[in-house]
Amino acid sequence: MSHPHALDKPREECGVFAVRLPEPADVASLCHLGLFALQHRGQESCGICVSNGEELVIEKDMGLVAEVFTEARLDKLRLPGARVGLGHTRYATTGASLRFNAQPLTVRSNKGILALAHNGNFTNAGRIRREMLEAGAIFNTTNDSEVMLNLIARYSRLSLEDATARVMGELQGGFAVVLMDRDRILGLRDRNGVRPLVIGELGGGYVFASEPSALHVVGATFVRDVRPGELVVADSQGLHSRQVLTPNPTPCAFEWIYFARGDGALDGVDVHAARVRMGEVLAAEAPAEADVVVGVPESGLAAAVGFSRASGIPFDLGLYKSPYAGRTFINPTQRLRELKVRLKLATTSSVAGKRVVLVDDSIVRGTTSGRIVQLLRSAGATEVHFRVSSPPIKYPCYYGIDTAARKELAAATMTLEEIRERIGADSLRFISEGGLARAIGLASTCLACFDGRYHAGHPEDEETLRPVAPFDAVA
């Protein structure tokens, strides 16, 4: 489903966190802290599940982590003797934004009670769900994560580990999953490693999280990334792993462009350094005659620093982002939607009388980009040269990112010049796909939203999409 977004960005679906300790601890508070560090990955709902080996309790609801988990609610999760827990923070991409779709999801099975938290999308979940419904299965939610739980529960003669490994081979798409029973955590990634999952060590136990930031906040030491196609189990014997699927690594490029926090590394690539390199590549590919380089906070700042370093044009903080704006919802009038940008962003005096290079990480619809250009002009900028550290987004994502309907994607239906006119910039250039690949530095990444090549599988009920209009990213 498509959502309006305050600053017109693609939205990551989820953040996942899980912990398994050898001794009883306040697992609920560790999960709570971990979700705070992953809040940027999902702001619609969140949940925590905790077990002490006998009982298993879960609390989840719509809202931000701070809204949902009051001290009273956390107390309900503080089971005596608890050693295992997992948490989830969510944006809806498959399944509507409703309370019953909040995760972790739980199911009672012949393997006991299982809880699952999932980041990504299964591209063949629709067909599997229909087949299971026809066979009499019952679903409690509309999201695709429940399909995985049901499949695991079906393999009644297999152990939880073997059943999970079997299901990994049946599901397609981009996904990172943490799964728990009363005493273990299982963590896994799809064979392409589209969605991130890292492992940390804490007090002789182990932590799984979408990003290193969630390890650091609970005092865990980074161990490694879960490998594409790998199933890792943390139990009373420690940590052990199985390479279930033949890896074909194509991690999502948008993790380094925009989604991940800048204070960590994914698949061995430092996020902040990659963003700075994107700016340096942009300066080489798309130079501009200007007096100052300004980044759109927060996500465009690192690329703006790189553009400044490579071009020699001074960097300055030309836009101020209010830390108190909070979430902004659908507003009833166009005028209020325009004022929403002013609520979040304001200009500083550094742009007055200057030719400005404005650096941002993406343009989706172009509406917010246009408002930011207007803000700079109103503050006295004489020219605004827009530079984008991602290639043009022309295709929807099927692996857990909400990129808006294809007809709403500016680059799918408009030429470079038409987008430049829409946003009111003096010039507009995007980084090339090759330039982005060099900046990230991995052998291969998923660029499906730019080039339409879906390495991890295409939804079975969607026809292959082609660009509507010719578009040269570096023309």
pLDDT digits (tens, 9 = 90+) for 286-312: 999 999 999 999 889 999 999 999 999
Strand 221-225 with 173-180, pairing: unpaired
449 is in an annotated binding site: yes
Give the pLDDT confidence score for residue 92 in this predicted structure.
54
Residue 314 is given by DSSP the state P
Q: Where are the alpha helices (DSSP H) in 182-322?
A: 212-217, 254, 271-285, 301-311
Q: Which residues contact 172 (CB under 8 A, 6 or more apart)?
A: 122, 123, 124, 190, 456, 457
Give the pLDDT confidence score for residue 404 in this predicted structure.
56
> Considering only 129-143, 191-205, 241-255, which range has the smallest mean pLDDT?
129-143
Provide the percentage of residues in the chain whose pLDDT is more than 70: 88
pLDDT digits (tens, 9 = 90+) for 231-256: 999 999 999 999 999 999 999 999 99
Please give the Cα distance from 216 to 211 (Å, whole number): 9
Beta strands, E only, 160-313: 173-180, 185-189, 198-202, 205-209, 221-225, 230-235, 238-243, 265-266, 269-270, 292-295
Rounded to 5 degrees, φ, ψ at 257 are -70, -45
Q: What angle do CA 401, 149, 89 make, to 5 degrees?
A: 40
CA distances from residue 164 to 153, 179, 180, 214, 429 in whole angstroms, order as listed: 9, 9, 11, 25, 45
Identify the active-site residue in 14, 31, 46, 49.
14
CA distances from residue 270 to 193, 207, 263, 277 in whole angstroms, order as listed: 17, 20, 8, 11
pLDDT band at 107; cut points 50, 70, 90 = confident
pLDDT digits (tens, 9 = 90+) for 205-234: 999 999 999 999 999 999 999 999 999 999
Is there a catalytic annotation at residue 14?
Answer: yes
Please give the Cα distance from 338 to 331 (Å, whole number): 9
pLDDT band at 89; cut points 50, 70, 90 = very high
361 is in an annotated binding site: yes
Spacing of C-alpha 115 from chain mean position? 21
pLDDT digits (tens, 9 = 90+) for 309-351: 999 999 999 999 987 765 544 445 556 666 777 788 999 999 9
Give the pLDDT confidence score for residue 464 in this predicted structure.
35
Give the pLDDT confidence score for residue 333 in this predicted structure.
59
46 is in an annotated binding site: no
Per-residue pLDDT, averaged over 375-404, amounts to 90
pLDDT above 80: residue 408: no
Give the pLDDT confidence score for residue 1 in this predicted structure.
30
| Dihedral angle, C-alpha 395, 396, 399, 401, nearest 10 ° | 120
Q: Where are the alpha helices (DSSP H) in 92-202?
A: 125-134, 145-154, 160-170
402 is in an annotated binding site: no
397 is in an annotated binding site: yes
316 is in an annotated binding site: no
Between 288 and 106, the higher pLDDT residue: 288
pLDDT above 60: residue 96: no
Per-residue pLDDT, averaged over 377-404, amounts to 90
Rounded to 5 degrees, φ, ψ at 386 are -85, 125
270 is in an annotated binding site: no
Mean pLDDT, all residues of the chain: 88
CATH topology (fold) of 269-451: Rossmann fold (3.40.50)
Domain ranges of the chain: 11-249, 269-451
pLDDT digits (tens, 9 = 90+) for 422-456: 999 999 999 999 999 999 999 999 999 999 999 88
CATH of 11-249, one of 3.60.20.10, 3.40.50.2000, 3.10.580.10, 2.60.40.3500: 3.60.20.10
Spatial contact of 223 and 151, defined as CB atoms under 8 Å apart:
no
Sign of CA dihedral 186, 58, 146, 445: negative
Per-residue pLDDT, averaged over 404-414, amounts to 80
Beta bridge mates, 59: 48
pLDDT band at 266; cut points 50, 70, 90 = very high
Give the pLDDT confidence score for residue 429 in this predicted structure.
98
Spatial contact of 31 and 19, defined as CB atoms under 8 Å apart:
yes
Tokens of 326: 């909070």
Give the pLDDT confidence score for residue 475 in this predicted structure.
28
Spatial contact of 188 and 194, defined as CB atoms under 8 Å apart:
no
